[in-house]
Amino acid sequence: MDHAVHELISARWSPYSFSRRLIPRADLLSIFEAARWAPSSFNEQPWRYVVATRDRAEDFDKVLSCLLEGNQAWARQVPVLALGCISTKFSRNGRSNRVAQHDLGLASASLTFEATSRKVFVHQMAGILPHKARKVFAIPDGFEAVTGLALGYRSDLGTAAPELQVRDQSPRTRRPVNKFVFGTEWSEPGL
């Protein structure tokens, strides 16, 4: 870290090795309550989540089947899988909501930090099969699956494939603040 941040920010990351320990329902409800209170354009709240817990194997396998194989390989062991979906149009006027994905991202960020506060890790995935999800979960017109989310407690036992365990242990890298916060000249540091 170059600058001080809240520990919920510094503690969050996206592991591949998860414990199989189930997340209590009360914690899951709080995690999705955090998503509920995310800001959104016109308070449209365009996010929807399809959620399955591993103790309900049939439902869990349905969500798992909507992930790309590479993600299925590590995500099959997590206790909770979800699909992040959007409503693509504003309910107030039927116009296309060009920030629906943005607002799903905000809701997922909110739930991620609530999860972090409960020692639950969230690993999001773009690698899903949206068309399959539409069929499997009868997602209606006007809604789309955008992301997958794996939620669970961290395991040090190395439950993922060896190459993914290496990624779990590799240093995380980021572009520095002065490379993405610009002043009035594009690409010139703004702070």
Ligand X SMILES: Cc1cc2nc3c(=O)[nH]c(=O)nc-3n(C[C@H](O)[C@H](O)[C@H](O)COP(=O)(O)O)c2cc1C
Q: Which residues bind ligand X (CB under 6 A)?
A: 13-14, 71, 124-127, 147, 172
Q: Which 8-state DSSP code applies to residue 159?
A: -
Smallest distance from ligand X to CB 171, Å:
11
Characterise 78 by phi-psi region: left (phi > 0), alpha (psi -120 to 50), beta (else): beta
Minimum separation from the CB atom of position 84 to ligand X (A):
8
Closest C-alpha to 97, from 34, 36, 141, 142: 142
Give the nearer residue to ligand X in terms of CB position, either 13 or 182: 13
Classify residue 134 as exposed, middle or buried by CB count within 10 Å of its CB (0-12, 13-18, 19+). Answer: middle
Residue nearest ligand X, CB atom distance: 127
User: Percentage helix, strand, coil, to 5, in the chain?
Assistant: 35, 20, 45
- Here the tokens at position 75 are 């995500």
Q: E-strand spans in the chain?
A: 47-53, 80-87, 121-125, 143-152
- Secondary structure element (H or E) that encloses residue 104, with its range: helix 100-117
Nearer Cβ to ligand X, position 11 or 183? Answer: 11
Closer by beta carbon to ligand X, 65 or else 190? 65
CB of 9 to ligand X, least distance (A): 10
| Rounded least distance, CB 163 to ligand X, Å | 11
Work out the number of other CB atoms within 10 angstroms of the CB of residue 168: 18
Which of residues 6 and 172 has its CB atom nearest to ligand X in the complex? 172
Closest distance between ligand X and the C-beta of residue 154, in Å? 12
User: Which residue's CB is nearer to ligand X, number 39 or number 190?
Assistant: 39
| Cβ-based nearer residue to ligand X, 93 or 170 | 170
Q: Give the Cβ contact number of residue 25 at 10 Å.
A: 9
- Closest contact distance (angstroms) between CB of 127 and ligand X is 3
